[in-house]
Chain A
């Protein structure tokens, strides 16, 4: 809940009640993000997973105000950024940076790597030329490239190399928080592994907090300390990586995890199937968003949106049915325990 109290010092990024409603034809509204709260501690990775249309990228973009949120608030390092004017916002970007999915689209094709790296140093840190050049050389080395790459144009680099430049640009000003929006989705698996290792390495060295948005469950499991699962604009489950992947509770999380293939011979999955496809985010009814697809649906599910409720320390689920079952399941095994196949 939004309170006037100053956020704790160690929370690098705090998001409360974030909403984004896009207007669509006929005066209707598309509820892309509909009330999201989370905290990201310094040096921590929070993974946001969900399928296309779940609003995970919109969250990432709202947090850095590439899209203006409809409602809610975002604090970076204790300061709210939603009220900032464009000048103040630009200086807030010292603290928060973003790496985009498609490095082809996010790098200026007419700028060399050197120019691309100098730019944030000049804008944010007002560094003199010599210092900038020294820093650019340091950055290119940190992301595993060499000084010869400084004079290249993006089209002369491979996808993996371009993503490394995207990362170098993001860490150039030493931010506290880096938003990673599907950073490996356009890469082959062998390159994906290298980029993830680089990100982990940089996080350790620079104590970066990552908001890691991805549809790739395996990647998120590899990277994240905590995971938030999104479905149609809301978080349906949030917890530590071990909790969400090891003991998924929300029916949607379980369906999602049980659908993800595991690259292991002889691995048998027990599928939890949801009927139909993701429903429309345009003017959704005031009920659980999984109504109509959920195998555990009860009449009460259509009465209002279920809030996130804690079932264990740091593990919350937006499903009263599961929470009630969990409360009585201390003696008998719960439905979730039958679903241990993804471990």
Chain B
């Protein structure tokens, strides 16, 4: 067993209302992301799966308060880092792909420019070199005619193509050790979804990336992930290998979630 790349330990948190009341939403969340593996964090709306991931990058909503726990990245607690050191981690070591790629991209800059900006920010070098890297990254995520597409704006990309751009930015341009994907295929059609998931798996396995896939769709998980963390109402209810979770779930909620996802078998 390799040492985990990221470890969430006893993480608790609450939302603070305008009157100062705290509503606990995360209860003692603990899980690990093992190096080189793709770990899925699954759960339904409001289970807290995204909140933990956002906390990793220090971009949780302003009304959220941590009440206990640590998130250790290579043994260092991300939650106690100051903004300057967190900046060094963001992008360079941990990067994130969001659900709505077209909303995550800046609408007023060309896609190539955004990728090149990120490349220069992370790795320095000349503008021309950065742009060449940007185009190369687009090519690697199978965007046809990358030179032409790099000159286009996000609105000229379809949802699936924009998600490829986000993956190019997060995985190839940033070159992180940990890639967090927050519902990367939600809202995409199944044919596009399966292309995007193939791309994600190929990139992660090809580059030895550690990935955390946050999703509510167990169908995506079963084919792509090595480990699974099941969350419900702010708690981790079960963790295990994908095979164990899908073939021999121990927790009642996991079983219910599986049954609800397998309509045909239940019929």
With A192-B260, A218-B264, A222-B267 in contact, is A267–B191 under 8 Å at CB?
Answer: no
* Residue B172 lies at the interface, judged by CB distance under 8 Å to chain A: no
Surface stretch bound by A, among B68-76, B99-107, B114-122, B215-223: B215-223
State the A residues within 8 Å of B (CB).
Answer: 51-52, 188-190, 192-193, 196, 215, 217-219, 221-222, 255-256, 259-265, 267, 269, 271, 274, 276-278
Q: Give the B interface residue count (CB, 8 A).
A: 35
CB closest residue in chain B, given A343? B264
Beyond A262-B219, A263-B258, A264-B265, list 4 extra A-B contacts (CB 8 Å).
A189-B44, A218-B219, A218-B263, A277-B158
* Residue B161 lies at the interface, judged by CB distance under 8 Å to chain A: yes
**Contact across chains for A190 and B257 when beta carbons are under 8 A apart:** yes
- Give the residue among A261, A262, A278 with the most B Cβ atoms within 10 A: A261
23 chain-A/chain-B pairs, Cβ below 8 angstroms:
A51-B192, A188-B45, A189-B257, A190-B44, A193-B259, A193-B260, A215-B189, A222-B264, A222-B267, A259-B194, A260-B190, A261-B194, A261-B217, A261-B219, A261-B222, A263-B219, A264-B222, A264-B246, A264-B262, A264-B265, A265-B246, A265-B247, A269-B223
CB neighbours (8 Å) of A278 from chain B are: 189
- Give the residue among B189, B191, B256 with the most A Cβ atoms within 10 A: B191
Q: What total of A-B pairs shows CB separation below 8 Å?
A: 83
CB neighbours (8 Å) of B257 from chain A are: 189-190
CB neighbours (8 Å) of B160 from chain A are: 277
Complex Cα gap A258–B263 (Å): 17
B160 → A minimal CB distance (Å): 6
CB neighbours (8 Å) of A277 from chain B are: 158, 160-161, 192
* Residue B243 lies at the interface, judged by CB distance under 8 Å to chain A: yes
* Residue B266 lies at the interface, judged by CB distance under 8 Å to chain A: yes
**Contact across chains for A271 and B242 when beta carbons are under 8 A apart:** no
**Contact across chains for B260 and A189 when beta carbons are under 8 A apart:** yes
A244 → B minimal CB distance (Å): 14
* Residue B261 lies at the interface, judged by CB distance under 8 Å to chain A: yes
CB closest residue in chain A, given B46? A188
**Contact across chains for B191 and A219 when beta carbons are under 8 A apart:** no
**Contact across chains for A263 and B262 when beta carbons are under 8 A apart:** yes
- B127-154 contact mask (Cβ, 8 Å, vs A): 1 or 0: 0000000000000000010000000000
**Contact across chains for B220 and A261 when beta carbons are under 8 A apart:** yes
CB neighbours (8 Å) of B223 from chain A are: 261, 267, 269
CB closest residue in chain B, given A220? B263
State the B residues within 8 Å of A (CB).
Answer: 44-45, 144, 158, 160-161, 189-194, 216-220, 222-223, 242-243, 246-247, 256-267
**Contact across chains for A259 and B190 when beta carbons are under 8 A apart:** yes
With A188-B45, A222-B267, A271-B194 in contact, is A263–B189 under 8 Å at CB?
Answer: no
Complex Cα gap A261–B189 (Å): 12
CB closest residue in chain A, given B218? A263
With A189-B257, A265-B247 in contact, is A259–B263 under 8 Å at CB?
Answer: no
With A222-B267, A265-B222 in contact, is A259–B193 under 8 Å at CB?
Answer: yes
Complex Cα gap A278–B189 (Å): 10
CB neighbours (8 Å) of A217 from chain B are: 190
CB neighbours (8 Å) of B242 from chain A are: 265
**Contact across chains for A215 and B260 when beta carbons are under 8 A apart:** no
Complex Cα gap A221–B266 (Å): 12
**Contact across chains for B44 and A188 when beta carbons are under 8 A apart:** yes
CB neighbours (8 Å) of A276 from chain B are: 144
CB closest residue in chain B, given A293? B191
With A189-B260, A277-B160 in contact, is A255–B191 under 8 Å at CB?
Answer: yes
**Contact across chains for B264 and A190 when beta carbons are under 8 A apart:** no
